Amino acid sequence: MDKDFSKHHKIIANFRGEVNKNSFEASYSAVTEHLNKTEKFLLKMELKRLAGGCARSIDLRGLVNGECQLFDFQGQTHFLDDVAIATFKENVAVYGSYTFGVYESVKNAKNSFRNIYQNEKVTPSVVDSINNNNKSGTEKLQYPAKLNFLANYPNRAEERMNFAIPITLTVLNKQQLVTTSIDLSVKGIKFKLINDISLFKGDQLSIAFTGLEQEFQFSKDDSFYFEVKNVLRDSGTQLIGCLRIDIPENDSFERFLVGYIQGNKRRYKINLDNSLAALQTRSLEQYALVKLNELIIFMHSAKGDMNKISPRYALTTKNNQKLYQYWHDEKKRSALHYLINAERLARLNVLQQQGKSLLVFSFIHQHKGDKFFYTVDEEQLKHDNAFFMQFLAFAASKTSFAITALKSLTIDAEQAYSPFTLSTALTKQQNYLNPPLTNEVNDILAGLPYAVTATDVTGTSDFSDYQALGYEGIDLDRLKSLRQKHNDKESRVDEITLSYGHQRQEVRFKYQTPVSIESEASNWSGLSADFSVSGLKVDLENPAVLSKGDIVHLSFPKLQKITSAFDLKQLPYKIMRISKDKKVVNLRVSVKEHQHIGRSFFKLLIDKNKNKLTPDEYAMLTPGLSGALRTLYAVNMEIPTAMVQSSGSRYKVENLVVGTHGYQSHKNLLSAMLRLSDRHGYYNLYPLLGNLQVSNLIDQHMKKLVASDTAVSELIYIAIDASITDIEKSVTIKQVSELNTPQMRNFFIKNALKQGDFYSLQLKLSRSDEAHMEHLNPELAYIGSYAIHRGKQLEQDIYSVAGLVQLIDVTQETLLRYKLTQ
C-alpha cells in the first residue's frame, strides 16, 4: 500500500542520512511525538527505505529540459543533465552513498517535464513568481549554437602522442628555457611557453629532451634543431608547434622515436584533436549537402577564354530538382545558359565583391509545343525602371514566374580533395572510399574557374505584390526581344547527383556480346555479362585454366564489325577474380588506363549513350569527379544550415554549418547572432527560435516529415534594434503568414529599417537521410581504438541528427519589392 508522505516532507528532509546514526531514535521520537503510533511507524519505515542502497540506473534523456550526458558513479552509468548531476552529488554527500533517497530526488528534479507541466496548471501569479525566482532573463533569451566550418581536413603526416616531459629550449639569443612538452611525433613537438618570451612562425631553436634521458642515451650537449610552424596565444601562455629540421641520414633518435611512440601510444594516447573535429564536421557535411536547396552550377571556360564560359555540370539533390527541371526546354535539354551567360557572370563577379546576389526574374511561354524563356536581372534594366516594373508585373501574371538569386564562387582546384585524418593508419581496404584525385579529374577541374549557386527565392506573396505594379502599355516588341530559344550549338550540361552512397569506382552496364579469351595458346569463348570503362565480367562456355593475376588477351568479334576506328583484338586484361567453377571471370585493363584501346572504345560507347544513363551512373564515368565537385562546394558554401538533433522525445538546435571559405558579410544575420550571444565563440539562435510559433513549427515538421519528402518552406521577418541591450525588446520575429496584407508587411519593414536592421529569412526544413557510415567508419574506428568513450559519444551525436533547416537570406529580394511597391 502506497502512503502519501508529502505532508511530512520537512521531517523527511531533516532526517536525510541520519537513520544509521546512534542518535536517530531519540531525535526521531522527539520530533514525531505528536503523531499516532501507526503513522510514526510508517514514517520511520519510509526513512529507512530512502536510506537503503539503490542499484537502479537513472536515464533522464527526454524527461528533463536539459542536455543529458554520461555520468559515472562507482562504476554505474547514468544519463543526467547538469541540474540532475548537482542534485545527485548533493544527496550522495548527505546520505553517504547511492540510496533510494538519492534516486527519487534526482528523478523529481525541478526541470523535469512532469514538474514543468504541473507548474503550468498553477495560477499565473504563482507561475510568474516561480519564473522570477528560478529563471533569469538570459536563460530564456540565449539559444547557443556552435558554428562548424566544412573544410579539407588536412591529414597529419605522423601520429602525435600526448606526452608531457621536461625539455630545455635554446632560442636564437642563446637564452635557455625549461618547459614541458604537450605532444610528440617523430619529427614534431608541441609545448607550452609563458608570454614573457615570444616566439613567431619561422623562428628556429634547439631542444634538449631532458625527460627522455632514462630512455635514450644522448651524447653530451645533444640538442636537436626545430622550426616554429604555428603559435596559438592565450591570455598568459603560448602553444607552440615545431617541426624538426636538419635531420641527418639514418638518425638514431628518429629511429628511437618511431619505436617509442609505436610502443607507448596506447598508454599515453594519441592526440586525436584533428580527427575528432574532422569527423564531427564531416558527418554534419554529409547530412547537409544531400539536402541542399540551391542548385550548384560549375562553369566551364573553353581554353581559358572567359568570353566563352558556359554551364557544364550541375549538382542536384531532391530539394533542388524542381529548380533544375525548370531550366529545361521541351526536349529535356538544359537551358541554364539562359540563366547564366558570360555577360551575367561578369555582373555577378562585380556583385560578389560586394557580398550581394544577382536577382533574375523569369517566365516561360509555351507555343506549339516549344518553350520560350524570358529572363531579366535587376542590373540589366536598372536604368529603365518603368519597363523593369512592367516586365515584373507581366511575368508575375504567369504561373511559370520565378525569381532566382545567383551568386558566383571563385573555384580553387586545390580545395577539391578532403583526405581522411588517419595519418598512416588507413588500411588498403579503406582506400577505395576516398582515393586521391586522378589526373583526369584534375584536368577537368582546371577548366572550371567558377561555380554559381542558383536559389529559388520565389514567395507566395511575390505574385500579387509584383502584379500590383501593373503592365498596361508594355512595349511588346521590347518584350519579344528578351525571348530566348534553344540553340543546338549550345554546350550540354551534365547532371551529377549529390550523394555519398557509391562504393564502386566505375558504374557497370549490363551488355552481352561475344568475347574470346586467349592465354598461352589456349582459347575460351563466352559472353560479356556487364562492362565498365576499365573492366568487364565474362561468362565462359567451358571452365578455364586461369588464376587470379593472370594476364590474358581479349577479342570482341561482334563489336569489331561495328567499328573500324578501334582494333578490338588481342587487348591485354588482368584477371581480378575467377569463380570456383572457373566459368565466371572478372577482368580489368592491365596497362596505363589512357593507353588501353579497350578503355577508349568502351568510354566512347558510353559517351554516345549518355542520354540513357541516370545522373548517378554518369557521375561514375569519371571516378572521383562527383566527390571533387561536392568538396569544392562544401568548403565554399555560404548559406548556413542549422542541424536539428533529437534529444529523447524533443529536438534541439545547437550546430550551424557553413563552408570555411564561404563569404560571410559582417552585416548578415550570422553576424547579428554572434553579437547577440553572451558566450564567446557561440551564436545565439534567438532570432530563429525566440518566436514560439516558429520554434513549434520546426518541432511539428520534424515529427511529420520523412526523409523522402522535399523541403518545406517558411518565410519569417526579423527586426533587430542594436541600440537596445535587452534581447527580448531588441529582436522582433514574425511569420510572414501572420502579416497577410501588403500594408502590414510594408509597415513591419519600414519600422525595422527605421529602428535598425531588417532580415527576411526563408527557412527550408528537411528530414535528414540516414548517415552513410562507410564514409565515417574509418575515422570513427580510429578514434574508438584510442578513446572508446569519445568514439561512442561521437557515434551517438551522428545518429542523433534528425533534420536540418537551411537559413536562406532573401532580404535583397524583399527590400527590392518593398522599394518598388512603395
Residues 488 and 386 in one domain: yes
User: 388 and 240, same structural domain?
Assistant: no
457 and 529 share a domain? no
Q: What is the pLDDT of residues 515-525, one digit of tens each?
A: 999 998 889 99
What are the two backbone dihedrals, phi and then psi, of residue 152, each rounded to the nearest 5 degrees? -90, -5
pLDDT at 488: 60
Could you tell me the pLDDT band of residue 301, with boundaries at 50, 70 and 90? confident
What pLDDT was estimated at residue 318?
A: 93
Instruction: Kindly report the average pLDDT of the chain as a whole number.
Output: 84
Check whether 694 has a pLDDT greater than 60. yes
pLDDT, tens digit, for every residue of 779-809? 888 778 777 877 888 888 889 999 999 999 9
Q: Do residue 70 and residue 120 come from a single domain? A: yes
Beta pairing, strands 571-578 & 166-170: unpaired
Identify whether 332 is part of a domain: yes
CB atoms within 10 A of CB 35: 14
Decide: 404 and 360 in contact? Cβ < 8 Å.
yes
Residue 357, all three cell numbers: 546576389
Amino acid symbol at 751 = N
Q: Do residues 590 and 685 both lie within one domain?
A: no
DSSP code at position 738:
G
Cα–Cα distance, 695 to 140 (Å, whole number): 13
Q: Which of 637, 685, 660, 669 is nearest to 145 (CA)?
A: 685
Query: Residues near 706 by Cβ (< 8 Å), separated by ≥ 6?
Result: 767
Please indicate, yes or no, if residue 288 is contained in any of the structural domains.
no
Split at pLDDT 50, 70, 90, the class of 617 is low
Percent of the chain with pLDDT over 70: 90
CATH of the domain at 597: 2.40.10.220
DSSP H or E segment with residue 644:
strand 641-647
CA dihedral 499, 500, 505, 511 (to 10 degrees): -50
Q: What is the DSSP-derived secondary structure letter of residue 534?
A: S
* pLDDT on residue 538: 94
Q: Is residue 1 in a domain?
A: no
Cα separation, 726 vs 730, in Å, equals 6
Q: Is residue 149 part of a domain?
A: no
Residue 432: pLDDT band by 50, 70, 90 thresholds? low
Contact 569, 555 (CB under 8 A): yes
Domain that holds residue 721: 632-821
What is the C-alpha separation between 529 and 510, in angstroms, rounded? 6
How sure is the predictor about 246, in pLDDT bands with cuts at 50, 70 and 90?
A: confident
Mean pLDDT of 444-448: 91
Q: How far is CA 85 from the centre of its chain?
A: 31
- Report if residue 229 sits inside a domain: yes
70 and 217 housed in the same domain: no
What span, in angstroms and rounded, lies between the C-alpha atoms of 316 and 323?
Answer: 9
Let me know whether 719 and 811 are in one domain: yes
Q: Provide the 3-class DSSP secondary structure of residue 475.
A: coil
> For residue 150, what is its C-alpha cell?
566544412
Residues 195-219: tens digit of each pLDDT: 668 888 899 999 999 889 888 888 8
Mean pLDDT of 67-71: 79
Report if residue 145 sits inside a domain: no
What H or E segment, with its residue span, contains residue 336? Answer: helix 336-339
Q: Residue written as cell 551512373?
A: 617
**How far, in Å, CA of 297 to CA of 328, rounded?**
14
Distance CA 247, CA 254 (A): 9
Whether residue 762 is found in the same domain as residue 794: yes
Please report the DSSP string for 100-146 in residue order: HHHHHHHHT-TTBHHHHHHHHTS-HHHHHHHHHHH--HHHHH--EEE
pLDDT at 209: 92
Examine residue 154 and state whether it is found in any structural domain, yes or no. no
Distance from C-alpha of 307 to C-alpha of 335, rounded to nearest angstrom? 18
24 φψ region: left (φ > 0), alpha (ψ -120 to 50), beta (else): alpha
Q: What H or E segment, with its residue span, contains residue 259?
A: helix 252-268
Choose one of 269, 302, 325: the last residue of a domain: 269
Report whether 611 contacts 621 (CB < 8 A): no
Q: Is 237 inside a domain boundary?
A: yes
* 596 lies in the same domain as 455: no
CA distance 118 to 140: 19
The CA-to-CA distance between both ends of the chain, in Å, stands at 74
Backbone angles phi, psi at 151, to 5 degrees: -140, -175
Q: Does residue 133 carry a pLDDT above 50?
A: no
Whether residue 134 has pLDDT greater than 60: no
Mapping DSSP to helix (H, G, I), strand (E, B) and coil, where does residue 331 land?
Answer: coil
pLDDT for the residue 69: 81
Is the predicted pLDDT of residue 451 greater than 90, yes or no? yes
Q: What is the pLDDT of residue 132?
A: 38
Mean pLDDT of the region 77-89: 86
Q: Out of 612, 643, 674, pick the residue that ends a domain.
A: 612
Instruction: Give the tens place of pLDDT for each residue, 457-474.
Output: 998 878 888 888 898 988
| DSSP category for residue 585 | E
Nearest Cα to Cα of residue 284 among 638, 669, 634, 730:
634
Question: What is d(CA 232, CA 656) in angstroms, rounded to the nearest whole number?
Answer: 25
- Strands 494-497 and 309-316 come out as parallel
Residues 89, 49, 99: CA angle, nearest 5 degrees: 20
Question: Alpha carbon of 267 to those of 262, 360, 462: distances in Å?
Answer: 10, 61, 64
Among 579, 612, 645, the domain-final residue is 612
Q: Which pLDDT does position 127 carry in this prediction?
A: 34
The span from the CA of 612 to the CA of 617, in Å, is: 10
Closest C-alpha among 655, 725, 730, 731 to residue 691: 731
d(CA 387, CA 389): 5
Q: At what angle do helices 100-107 and 82-95 cross, to 10 degrees?
A: 160
Indicate if the pLDDT at residue 630 is higher than 50: yes
Q: Are residues 58 and 122 in the same domain?
A: yes
List all residues 6 or more positions away from 115 whose beta carbon is below 8 Å from its beta carbon. 108, 109
- pLDDT tens string 329-387: 888 888 999 999 888 988 998 888 888 899 999 999 988 888 999 999 999 988 889 99
CA atoms of 15 and 46, how far apart (whole Å): 11
User: Per the structure, how many domains does the chain have?
Assistant: 5
Q: Categorise residue 84: left if φ over 0, alpha if ψ from -120 to 50, beta otherwise.
A: alpha
For residue 459 the three cell numbers come to 514567395
Do strands 494-497 and 295-301 pair parallel, antiparallel, or not at all (unpaired)? unpaired
Residue 678 phi, psi dihedral angles, 5° rounding:
-100, 5
Asked whether residue 760 falls in the same domain as residue 784, the answer is yes
Q: Are residues 477 and 585 in the same domain?
A: no
What b/e string do you get for 669-681 counting C-beta neighbours within 10 Å, with b at 16 or more?
bbebbbebbeeee
Sheet of 309-316, strands arranged across: 483-484, 370-377, 358-367, 402-410, 450-456, 295-301, 309-316, 494-497
| The predicted structure's pLDDT at residue 598 | 78
